[in-house]
């Protein structure tokens, strides 16, 4: 329904924000972008977005999504 569509939109926005931020700080491969787009959990995406600030390596961010 409508709520499901809204949630999907929120998830897609967070995924794309995460991809942009990782790309800007470290660079992102198409495989990594695909991994990010497979994550559908808002809490994990939020934690990953927050982790970018303190992470030394992108692997620290990406492991949150697993």
Q: pLDDT for 14-43, tens place per residue?
A: 999 999 999 999 999 999 999 999 999 999
Q: How far apart are CA 1 and CA 38, in angstroms?
A: 21
Residue of 45, 43, 44 lying closest to 20 (CA atoms): 45
Q: What is the pTM of this model?
A: 0.93
What pLDDT sits at residue 1?
87
Say whether pLDDT at 64 is over 90: yes
40 is written with which tokens?
A: 């559908």
């Amino acid at each position: 329904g409508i709520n499901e569509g809204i949630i999907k939109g929120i998830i897609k926005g967070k995924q794309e924000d995460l991809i942009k931020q990782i790309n800007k700080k470290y660079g992102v491969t198409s495989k990594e972008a695909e991994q990010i787009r497979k994550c559908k959990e808002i809490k994990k995406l939020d934690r990953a977005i927050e982790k970018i600030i303190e992470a030394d390596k992108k692997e620290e961010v990406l492991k949150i999504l697993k």
